[in-house]
Chains A and B, each alone.
Chain A
Amino acid sequence: MAVLRASPFAAGLLAATTPAQAHLMNSGFGPFYDGLAHPLLSPEDLLPAVAMTLLAGLGGARQGRFVLATLPLAWLAGMAAGWALGLPTAPAWLTAVVTALLGALVAGDLRLPLEVMVALAAAIGALHGYDNGHDLAATTGALVGIIGIACSLFAIVSLLAGQVAVLKAQWARLAVRISGSWIGAVGLLMLGWSVKS
């Protein structure tokens, strides 16, 4: 029953985020707030970040804390590199594969060792951060925007991983795993799109 109540709510949240999706956010409040809004409104970035967070949360409070430190910092480092280097970004299929894999890990509720979890968070942060930094390089106030994005990720991870880590009831963990399976399914479809276009 509770799963039934939670899932439409999650779907509603997704529905609510869609209209403002854009390549580079323009919140009207300046680059810092553009940066804050970016991860929330870009599903390509949000889905893997959320999947990583759910995975860390399922792994417990300790893993959650480590990912809370790793993901935003790696993202920040990636953005700095993308902003400074200006090398080509990762292909779309790689993002799709990462999203599908992370979703599958959440769906399977796989217990990973802490080192693997941290390495995974670092790799995902670097990959997506690099993309963001590369895109932001062309805009004014890019550095402030980069800080906004990192803050936003910190908020996402702390709120979500904290919520998931305290879940004890079986149905609640199942609801998290089901949302992971949905993220994985979206990743597979994204892979199809990336080949098509």
Chain B
Amino acid sequence: MNERSSRIASLLPWLLLLYSTRAHAHILGDEAGGFISGFEHPISGLDHILAMVSVGLWGAQLGAPAIWVLPVTFPIVMAFGGMLGLMGVPLPGTEIGIALSAIGLGAMVASEARPPLWIAALLVGFFAIFHGHAHGTELPPDESGVLYSIGFVVATGLLHLTGIAIGLIHRWKAGEVTMRLGGVGVALAGCFFLWDSLP
């Protein structure tokens, strides 16, 4: 039952995507396109998805107030990173930073680390800058900036919510173990991304 509900929750972002695409086909293409391409961006790369879902998972492990502080911190700092990217402020080692974020956040989930809240928020924020910067510099031209930004932030928030929804299994012993194994998986994937991003 519980697994089913979290699976349904993880489908929600896709459901929304379908919903907006239909309108896109009918009316103003370019401007709806801004929202959709912004929405698609965070969910188009596995490295981003894993890191953002991990933020939600970690928050769910830590419980209140981290369960909402971390998912609020990430989009704001990520947007700040995106702003720097848009402004053309260089940030070295973006891809490495993103790979390290998957390793770091995966390790936090795997070990159920319980640092003080501000350290957890700082860590999440630090990684978020790299994710945001990567998005900011990869933006396609000729899109509606505001709608792109809305889609981008909403998709990121929904990925966190997906992590929190999956985190509902934490109340059972088996679920707790499953989540920690998931953290191991994210960290391993991060190692692969790191290997991939090294020259």
- A residues near B (Cβ < 8 Å) are 1, 3-4, 7-8, 11-12, 14-16, 18-22, 43-44, 47, 104, 107, 174, 177-178, 181-182, 184-197
CB contact list, B92-150 vs A, under 8 A:
136, 144-150
**Once the chains bind, are B84 and A19 in contact (CB under 8 Å)?**
no
**Once the chains bind, are B84 and A192 in contact (CB under 8 Å)?**
yes
Q: Whose C-beta in chain A lies nearest to the C-beta of B28? A: A19
Secondary structure class of chain B's binding surface, majority of residues:
helix
Known: A4-B164, A181-B72, A186-B153. A18 touches B147 (CB 8 A): yes
**Once the chains bind, are B86 and A189 in contact (CB under 8 Å)?**
yes
**Once the chains bind, are B153 and A7 in contact (CB under 8 Å)?**
no
11 A-B pairs besides A8-B13, A8-B16, A177-B72 with CB distance below 8 A are: A7-B161, A8-B12, A16-B23, A20-B27, A20-B28, A44-B146, A47-B146, A47-B150, A178-B157, A186-B153, A189-B79
**Once the chains bind, are A192 and B136 in contact (CB under 8 Å)?**
yes
**Once the chains bind, are B150 and A178 in contact (CB under 8 Å)?**
no
Distance between A86 CB and nearest chain B CB, rounded to angstroms: 25
Chain B residues near A12 (CB-CB < 8 A): 16, 19
**Once the chains bind, are A15 and B153 in contact (CB under 8 Å)?**
no
**Once the chains bind, are B23 and A11 in contact (CB under 8 Å)?**
no
Assembly CA distance A43 to B71 (angstroms): 23
**Once the chains bind, are B145 and A190 in contact (CB under 8 Å)?**
yes
- B residues near A (Cβ < 8 Å) are 9, 12-13, 15-16, 19-20, 23-24, 26-28, 31-32, 34-35, 39, 68, 71-72, 75-76, 78-80, 82-88, 136, 144-150, 152-154, 157-158, 161, 164-165, 168
Secondary structure class of chain A's binding surface, majority of residues:
helix
Chain A residues near B168 (CB-CB < 8 A): 1
Chain B residues near A177 (CB-CB < 8 A): 72
- Our pick among A20, A44, A184 for the contact of B76 (Cβ within 8 Å) is A184
Distance between B9 CB and nearest chain A CB, rounded to angstroms: 6
- Our pick among B20, B32, B153 for the contact of A185 (Cβ within 8 Å) is B153
Known: A21-B31, A193-B145. A188 touches B157 (CB 8 A): no
Assembly CA distance A8 to B160 (angstroms): 12
Distance between A90 CB and nearest chain B CB, rounded to angstroms: 15
Assembly CA distance A195 to B89 (angstroms): 11
Known: A182-B157, A184-B76, A188-B80. A22 touches B145 (CB 8 A): no
Distance between B186 CB and nearest chain A CB, rounded to angstroms: 21
